[in-house]
Structure 1
Amino acid sequence: MKGALLVAGTTSDAGKSVVTAGVCRWLARQGVKVAPYKAQNMSLNSFVTADGAEIGRAQAMQAAACGLEPAADMNPILLKPGSDRRSQVVVMGRPLTDVDAMEYRDLKDHLRTVAVDALERLRARYDVVVCEGAGSPAEINLREGDIANMGLARAAGLPVVVVGDIDRGGVFAAMYGTVALLEPADQALIAGFVVNKFRGARELLEPALGMIRELTGREVYGVLPWLEGAWLDAEDSLALDNRPAIGTRAPYGRQTLRVAVVRLPRVSNFTDVDALAAEPGVTVRFVTSPAELDDADLVVLPGSRATVSDLAWLRATGLAAALPGRAVLGICGGYQMLARTIHDDVESGAGRVEGLGLLPATVVFAPDKTLGRPVGAAYGCPVMAYEIHHGVVTAEGGEPFLDGCRSGTVWGTTWHGALENDGFRRAFLADVAAVTGRDFVPAPDVSFAALREERLDALGDLVEHHLDTGALLRLLEHGAPEGLPILPPGGVRGAP
């Protein structure tokens, strides 16, 4: 078979990423050569491919669902917000420029060509490409020049399935409104809907499913039940809003280890701590105030797209003053904050800034971004990781720790993904337990890679058991059904 479809959503965090991954895993298990694709991603959770290209972390997860190595074509355009108004534009895995929303419009013609070309290359190499939209296709103020939703669907002739999050409420109004706000040529590509995150008795939902079919003339391809643990490789910090403390498996030793992850305003790659939550007896929660650190055994300062600004926020909230004397792990931007001084004429333009001084190191921001897949060792264990940073940290003392350093109960590294290495993670947690006096023993047999595969299989199972897979195959082979009704008011004018 040959084909492609676009998974859109009524909102951000409706479940587009996990539905795309689930469809990819289901197709891969059928022996289909399938690849994921997202034309334009706005995310601070990113990954580095084997050839040094930066793409969205969600697309790397979707590539894993397909059994593929991630590639730049899978996410040709990545926007990384550094403030409320400006974002770094990463094109085919390399930083291009920093722009505000108005300046970004001037790039749209070029970026549309980049996006369409990348999709065409994937379609030539694979039988099926499952595309993920961005935000909602009914963001009518952004329709002109759109390259991620209906603009892409029109350019490539893609049938569109709209995912709605019923857990938020108002899902049927959102589905109807999404279609009705689009112009007729866009509506003609909206083939149907998927209800996501349903909890309760399916029979109570059936009347509404029939009504939305009658009102829109479009199929509901299925209802996906709520799945605990579907937060794997979340795309953006919206996923943290309803994310409770995670890591509920009973401890292997007598006590649990409590990890507090500081939710910085521009937090990036918070997925680094997912591996900690996979350990029995480790609880992970995201915090924003000093009081929430009171019972923490380990505080994690994660990555940041705005190191100097987020450091100022740490001080303003009182979190910075609560860190000395605690066990702290800084990763990438968090490591930079722990240094003595930061010289930043690149990201913030702030020049020389005093760091927290908890590690004997200095930071100088370089114009060129470091992107790589480093390997090393710590605690006698091999470590494979990836790095994405402008800030170059020079350790001036302490003990070596991966590429960074350690001083007492404070550790720092620029390497993302290090905690996914099972032996290293266990040794590090045992060290944290020793310095904090916790009777915590890491379990000897947890494989984070195996856990990720189990979760991807669970997403594939959701698609196989709860969606009309025959109808999805017909969409892939034949496109959107002809003669779909055009809903009033017929939407707004937009560019094809």
Structure 2
Amino acid sequence: MKGALLVAGTTSDAGKSVIAAGLCRLLARRGAKVAPFKAQNMSNNSVVTLDGGEIGRAQALQAAACGLEPSVRFNPVLLKPGSDRRSQLVVRGKAIGTIGAADYLAWREKLRGVVADELASLRSEFDVVICEGAGSPAEINLRETDIANMGLARAADIPVIVVGDIDRGGVLAHLFGTVAVLDPEDQALIAGFLINKFRGDPALLEPGLAQLEKLTGRPTLGVVPYSDELWIDAEDSLSTVSDAPVGRPAPPLGSEWLNVAAIRLPRISNSTDVEALACEPGVAVRWVTEPSRVADADVVVVPGTKSTVSDLAWLRRTGLAEALVSRAARGRPIIGICGGYQMLGRTIVDDVESRCGEVAGLGLLDLQVRFDPEKTLRRVSGTADGIAVRGYEIHHGQACAAGDEALLHYADGTPEGSVKGAVRGTHWHGLLACDDYRRALLPVLAAESGRGGFVVAPDTSVHRIRLRQLDLLADLIERHVDVSAVLYLIEHGAPYDLRTI
């Protein structure tokens, strides 16, 4: 088998990322040499690759589904929103600058070439490339500059399936309309539909699917059911919903739960850091935006952000900053990660992102941060309390003075992070996913929060849990999608006689 497929969606968060990951896992389990590809991603959820670049978290997850290490080849263009109008442009893993919509027009031809080269290289090396679209091809106002949806499909002659999320309502209209607004040449590559998150008896949907095929000339290749067990990494940090639970935690081993409040910052990044806590039995993690939730929680996590100074101002406007200061005064646990860590310090000097100059932090840690134009991008390893740990760093802010005890040490002995009472902070992403460290940390956090009845599980593996999630996805697709039809599309392309609406 040799070929490619583009998984598009009727909307953002329709399920493109998870369906693409499930297809990658299914093909890899069948022995195919498969790679993921997303030409352009807009996300603040990113990871550092082996080659020292930065790509979207979804493509790293899809790479894991394929049995591969993440590579900048899988996501050559990444846009990281810093405000409603401007984003940091990352090309082949490296930050190029900050751009707006008008600037992007000047970049489009160069980016089109980058995308074409990377996709051609992957197709020559792998049996199958599963591409994920961006947003929706129905955004015809963006068609001229499109390099991730029909622009990609047309340039590389790739068949397309369109995913619709039935939870949103109106999915049949969404699927029909997505095809109908496209020009005839683009419509010729839309080969079928897939419905995601269906609840109930599929027979109830059959009349609608039959009518959809009659109207479009295209079949629905599968109806993937909603699964309570599936909580795989969000496509984008900005889609994280306030007050939503994270994961599906098992009941506690002891007599008490440990309740974790993760602050949902406006420009949150790398929200997946807290998912490692949610893998633990008896640890309930929830996104919050209200001071009362911070006051009531056993542990509070201040995650990373793409706009540290702006989100720090938001903490102050909402009363969350005051709630954090009050927690620290009472000896209640707080963990700051990356931008969240920087906010907990004394001062931030930012002439790079916000260009606000010197700004006062929350003063919970003896830390001074200065932003450097050069972004730190690296995988790291070291020790924390004598335990081997690893992670990755993505930040402009540098700790230029730190007077507290170090949270951990790099492999060369250099100190990193801060601990002051029950307040902890680090620039490292992925630290909480280190199983031995997390198992040692949780009982300490439980003691600091007065949860003497909490008992940490002895054998939780975040890596195994994520792999099980990928296998669950592949199993759902195996059982509920016409896989033979999908494989035919991959190998032979879209049928030549598809109807134009």
3-state SS of 1:25 partner: helix
Which residue matches 2:239? 238
Distance 1:222 1:145 in 2: 31
Distance 2:8 2:444 in 1: 45
Which residue matches 1:136? 136
Matched letter for residue 163 of structure 1: V
**Once structures 1 and 2 are overlaid, which stretch shifts more, 319-328 or 307-316?**
319-328
Distance 1:105 1:229 in 2: 42
RMSD: 1.1
Which residue matches 1:493? none
Which residue matches 1:271? 272
3-state SS of 2:8 partner: strand
Q: Deviations over 1:224-283 (max 9, x none)?
A: 000235332212132436843544311122211100000000000000000100000000
- Say whether the 8 Å CA contact 1:247–1:284 is kept in structure 2: no
3-state SS of 2:310 partner: helix
3-state SS of 1:284 partner: strand
- Say whether the 8 Å CA contact 2:243–2:289 is kept in structure 1: no
Q: Which runs of 5+ in 2 are unaligned?
A: 409-415
3-state SS of 2:406 partner: strand
Runs of 4+ in 1 over 6 A off after TM superposition: none
Q: How many residues align?
A: 487
Matched letter for residue 134 of structure 2: A
Q: Deviations over 1:160-196 (max 9, x none)?
A: 0000000110000000000000000000000000000
Does 2:491 match 1:485? no
- CA pair 247-225 structure 1, distance change in 2 beyond 3 A: closer
Matched letter for residue 37 of structure 2: Y
Q: Deviations over 1:179-225 (max 9, x none)?
A: 00000000000000000000011111111111111110001000000
Does 2:387 match 1:381? yes
3-state SS of 1:107 partner: helix
Within a 5 Å distance, the mapping from 1:447-458 to structure 2 comes to 447-458=461-472
Q: How far 1:394 moved relative to its partner?
A: 3.6
Within a 5 Å distance, the mapping from 1:188-203 to structure 2 comes to 188-203=188-203
- CA pair 238-229 structure 1, distance change in 2 beyond 3 A: farther
Which residue matches 1:425? 438
Within a 5 Å distance, the mapping from 1:325-364 to structure 2 comes to 325=328, 326-364=332-370
- Say whether the 8 Å CA contact 1:335–1:414 is kept in structure 2: yes
Q: How far 1:434 moved relative to its partner?
A: 1.6
- Say whether the 8 Å CA contact 1:46–1:54 is kept in structure 2: yes
Distance 1:109 1:417 in 2: 35
Q: How far 1:308 moved relative to its partner?
A: 0.1
Which residue matches 1:281? 282
Which residue matches 2:177? 177
Distance 2:10 2:397 in 1: 37
Distance 1:241 1:148 in 2: 29
Matched letter for residue 44 of structure 1: N
Q: Deviations over 1:370-403 (max 9, x none)?
A: 0000001113211110110000024522211022
- Say whether the 8 Å CA contact 1:385–1:418 is kept in structure 2: yes
Distance 1:49 1:202 in 2: 41
- Say whether the 8 Å CA contact 2:258–2:282 is kept in structure 1: yes
- Say whether the 8 Å CA contact 1:276–1:282 is kept in structure 2: yes
- Say whether the 8 Å CA contact 1:16–1:133 is kept in structure 2: yes
Q: Which runs of 5+ in 1 are unaligned?
A: 488-496
- Say whether the 8 Å CA contact 1:395–1:404 is kept in structure 2: no
Does 2:320 match 1:314? no
With the length of structure 1 as denominator, give the TM-score of the two structures.
0.97
Q: How far 1:136 moved relative to its partner?
A: 0.3
Does 2:460 match 1:446? yes
Which residue matches 1:293? 294
Which residue matches 1:465? 479
- Say whether the 8 Å CA contact 1:299–1:327 is kept in structure 2: yes
3-state SS of 1:373 partner: strand
- Say whether the 8 Å CA contact 2:242–2:287 is kept in structure 1: no
**Once structures 1 and 2 are overlaid, which stretch shifts more, 293-302 or 274-283?**
293-302
Does 2:153 match 1:153? yes
3-state SS of 2:487 partner: helix
Which residue matches 1:3? 3
Q: Deviations over 1:318-356 (max 9, x none)?
A: 000001223110000000000100000001000000000
Which residue matches 1:119? 119
Within a 5 Å distance, the mapping from 1:212-231 to structure 2 comes to 212-231=212-231
- CA pair 245-295 structure 1, distance change in 2 beyond 3 A: farther
Identity score, percent: 61
- Say whether the 8 Å CA contact 1:246–1:285 is kept in structure 2: no
Distance 1:320 1:486 in 2: 56
Which residue matches 2:425? 412
Distance 2:419 2:248 in 1: 26
- Say whether the 8 Å CA contact 1:73–1:118 is kept in structure 2: yes
Matched letter for residue 176 of structure 1: F
3-state SS of 1:353 partner: strand
Distance 1:229 1:295 in 2: 28
With the length of structure 2 as denominator, give the TM-score of the two structures.
0.96
3-state SS of 1:371 partner: strand
**Once structures 1 and 2 are overlaid, which stretch shifts more, 242-251 or 94-103?**
242-251
Does 2:28 match 1:28? yes
**Once structures 1 and 2 are overlaid, which stretch shifts more, 318-327 or 393-402?**
393-402
Q: Deviations over 1:125-184 (max 9, x none)?
A: 100000000000010110112101000000000000000000110000000000000000
Matched letter for residue 389 of structure 2: V
Q: Deviations over 1:394-422 (max 9, x none)?
A: 45222110220100010000000111110
